Chain A
Amino acid sequence: MIQYEKFTLANGLRVLVHEDKSTPMAVIDVIYDVGARDENPNKTGFAHLFEHLMFGGSVNVPVYDEPLQIAGGENNAYTSNDLTNYYCQLPAENIETAFWLESDRMLSLAFSEKSLEVQRKVVSEEFKEHYINKPYGDVWHKMRKLAYTKHPYKWMTIGEELSHVENATLQDVKDFFLEHYTPSNAILVVAGNVTIAEVKMLAEKWFAPIPAGNKYKRDLPQEPKQTEARKLEVRANVPLDAIYKCWHIYPRLDQRYYVVDLITEILSGGGSSRLFQSLVKEKKLFSNVECYHVGSTDAGLLTIEGKLLKGVSMADADAAINEELKKLQAEGVSAKELEKVKNKTESTMAFNDMSITERADSLAVYELLGDANLINTELGKYQAVTTTDIITESRIVFDEKNCSTLYYYSNNA
């Protein structure tokens, strides 16, 4: 049971405090309710570029990193399609430094032309490093466009194309800040060797004076139900043929999400999972095969991907995956197999809760979803899943009409 207390400042900033006296450290986690899904389709990659700019100086503090490092702290941030999260860890005695730094950049940025110019280049190099200069690096660029026709999940967090990032202007940066980086669109989590009274005092002192700003109203185009199988074939300079298959699943808070999450574990959660055992070990068709989803807030995708062993045809590989899915749809799972993936979920959660950084991150993400107490109640939702649920959902999700398939052929195979 993770204990925490929550209060809300007059400007709308939600604050959660989790005390842990066993550590000398404190973590401050600030999550902003903005991700790549909130971007203008012609200016994609902006939420992530903006994350970089948050380190380029704020209105009263010329640089973010140095004062934090002097206080013995470390920090980082990440952007997803759904949210942007900034976190830092420092000795608990010095926690006020983090309040000072985080509140100043929520108040306003320095909006430096130099910072924008440099970070455009840095993000371009990040784009190249992860998505261009890497075998199979463009898969998700292609797959998102195939699987989504309307929803902004159709582009990647890094951006639809390099030019969107390269063309970002300082006015874009200012507009984005005003629209999204307000107290009412943010959640502050403080965890570690702190007291609730201390955090209340510091939050009032540093964050309460920030003007409330407007609450962002999200109104995203919804993805229509997919009604026929989609296929795409590409050829590239990669050493091996690969296959990617995606099916639309459920929003993060839907009870059926938990059923599907356990299905991914049954199919590929380890050395005894179905796809690995059948397709790698027994049938010897793949050198690796994985099933996963990314837990997105709106309805996401369940993916099965694999690299084919040399000499195996794409048609045979695809058919073998489908055969495993048909088996699941026809026979379901045994009570023991379901128990196995539930046990794994319980264990994963216990290990995640080992560090205050993870606990702070979970509290922030769950609060953004609508209820921080999911950190304590979510295991129960997994426990409630039955073998009947598994069979029902596997029949609904693994419908050919709900599937997008990408055949990624090697030029050299």
Chain B
Amino acid sequence: MINRTIAPEIKDATEFNLQLKPYEKFTLDNGVEVYAINAGAQDVLQLEMVFYAGNSYESANAVAAVTNHMLKNGTSTKTAFQINEHFEYYGSHCNRNCSNEVASLSLHTLNKHLNVLLPVMREMISDSVFPEDELATYKQICKQKLSVSLQKCDFVANRLIDAYVFGEAHPYGKVITAADYDAITTDQLKQHFNKYYLNGKCIIFVAGLLPKDIFQQLNKNFGSLSLNKQQIILPPHGILPAKEKKYRIQNDANGVQGAIRMARPFPTRHHPDYMKTMVLNALFGGFFGSRLMSNIREEKGYTYGIHSYIQNHIQDSAWLISTEAGKDVCEATVEEVYKEMKLLREELIDEEELSLVRNYLIGSILGDLDGPFHIIGRWKNIILNDLDEKYFYDSVTAIKTVSAEELQALSEKYLRAEDFYELIVI
């Protein structure tokens, strides 16, 4: 009979030697850099063209996101329908995504169809025409979607907490309204397109079981475009945080839950505290076994889930706690979060708990390095944040070596109740 009360032997996760597979780098004729990860077993690839065209660069609210979305809504030779049909006929997905600094056009496809898809992507980034009718339809869609979102306490809370921390004038704190969509014109879109796509700065990330001629295919389609010629300057944006720290908002008279958000400003990945704070965050509220989850979900049952995280921003960041809790236990939940902060400031974390978090984080990185798409995702984050592979290896070292005393010092520095904005939206 086996003794089931004794755990099997394990290899301590901190003994794992984590390696981030290096990229191959090419430069197209026009200077566009291509980062490539050639790995995997399936004949598929993911291509992402990243432009410095996010909402930090826009002339009015939502212009960057709408321009990015409408890259698929018509060129001088193809209608929106024809573009969609082309990608879909080959079973591929061509998506757009717009964030604060960058906006991208991506492709997921079986390798065998790449050669017929790239020319259409070329058209989209060099010859999009932004038809009036398409814009009118898309505005309607956006406004209707917004009206539904505004009824959700979590959506409202997410917008407001960002606005408190960064101010509405900052790209990270913008609050988009229906009137913003109404005000958008095709001229604004064309200007944004001209400056930030047609004559913009682009970086390409490609991953998968790459065809041998991948560089030639990319160079043929994108190497002669007028990209990376002009300097793209990030407009300066001041942070204007709210003065008031505590907010209670009634959004839905029939609401049975409240969306709780607590946040404080936090520096970027370049700050010396960043890597060790990531470990502290994991322990505090960053995974299922965290203090917040153990106490507020698994002990008290106030919520389906509670999380803390550092926002994935480039210019500046914030540390957030986020949960939806029963209407009657919202205030109690906020109190418990502060209690957990206090515990971290006042009591040293014991070695058993710290070791669990180290192992969990290392295992999680190991799992996340599974496959070419995940690996290129890590690299993309490193490159767009202007870091290098040292960042990856230093983060791993920080996980393996950070001490309980250092985590307590970080808690004293960053987990102070008086620094946090606090919001409940019901």
Contacts and interface: CB of A to CB of B under 8 A. Distances in A.
Q: Tell whether A pairs with B.
A: yes
Interface string B130-147: 000000010011001101
Contact of A119 (B4, B80, B301): B301
B108 to A, nearest CB: 6
Interface in A1-47: 20, 22-25
Contact of B370 (A25, A60, A205, A351): A25
A133 B153 contact: yes
A120 B298 CA distance: 11
B272 interface: no
Interface in B238-270: 252, 254-257
Interface in A203-260: 205-206, 209, 237-240
B301 A271 contact: no
Contacts of B42: 350-351, 353-354
Interface stretch (B97-105, B357-365, B412-420): B357-365
B36 to A, nearest CB: 17
B92 interface: yes
A324 B84 CA distance: 19
Given A67-B7, A97-B10, A354 B371 contact: yes
Nearest to B361: A72
A22 B42 CA distance: 12
Interface string B290-313: 000000011111111000000000
Given A100-B4, A120-B301, A125 B363 contact: no
B377 interface: no
A89 B41 CA distance: 20
A405 B94 CA distance: 33
Interface residues of A, number: 82
Given A287-B144, A344-B88, A354 B40 contact: yes
B115 to A, nearest CB: 15
A91 B288 CA distance: 18
B77 interface: no
B299 A25 contact: no
A240 B299 CA distance: 39
Interface residues of B, number: 77
B5 interface: yes
A61 B8 CA distance: 12
Given A272-B81, A287-B145, A354-B371, A122 B303 contact: yes
Nearest to A307: B144
Contacts of B300: 118, 121
B148 A307 contact: yes
Contacts of B43: 350
Interface stretch (A148-156, A176-184, A277-285, A313-321): A277-285
A91 B2 contact: no
A25 to B, nearest CB: 5
Nearest to B303: A125
Contacts of A60: 4-5
Contact of B289 (A66, A240, A269, A345): A66
B42 to A, nearest CB: 5
A65 B44 CA distance: 35
Nearest to A192: B370
B356 interface: yes
A221 to B, nearest CB: 32
Interface in A98-147: 99-100, 103-104, 107, 117-126, 128-129, 132-136
Interface stretch (A296-304, A335-343, A364-372, A387-395): A335-343
A70 interface: yes
A271 B256 CA distance: 36
B88 A269 contact: yes
Contact of B359 (A71, A288, A339): A71
Contact of B363 (A91, A103, A205): A91
Nearest to A133: B257
A133 B8 contact: no
B305 to A, nearest CB: 8
A32 to B, nearest CB: 20
Contact of A347 (B91, B255, B289, B302): B91
A346 interface: yes
A74 B371 contact: no
B370 A356 contact: yes
A118 B147 contact: no
B1 A209 contact: yes
Interface in B118-173: 137, 140-141, 144-145, 147-148, 150-153
A73 interface: yes
B90 to A, nearest CB: 6
A90 interface: yes
Nearest to A125: B304
Output the residue of A125, A272, A280, A287 with the most chain B CB within 10 A.
A125
A333 interface: no
A38 B288 CA distance: 29
A355 interface: yes
B148 A74 contact: no
Contacts of A281: 80-81, 137
B147 A239 contact: yes
B367 A117 contact: no
Given A240-B144, A280-B137, A71 B1 contact: no
B88 to A, nearest CB: 5
A25 B366 contact: yes
A128 to B, nearest CB: 5
Which 3 A/B pairs are nearest by Cβ-Cβ distance?
A72-B363, A121-B301, A271-B84
8 contacts: A25-B366, A69-B357, A70-B13, A89-B367, A90-B367, A133-B324, A240-B147, A340-B85
Interface of B: 1-2, 4-5, 7-11, 13, 16, 39-44, 72, 80-81, 83-85, 87-93, 108-110, 137, 140-141, 144-145, 147-148, 150-153, 252, 254-257, 287-289, 297-304, 324-326, 355-357, 359-360, 362-364, 366-367, 369-371, 373
Given A125-B303, A128-B256, A129-B257, 13 more contacts: A25-B366, A59-B4, A65-B289, A69-B288, A121-B302, A237-B252, A240-B147, A240-B148, A270-B84, A270-B88, A340-B85, A340-B91, A355-B371
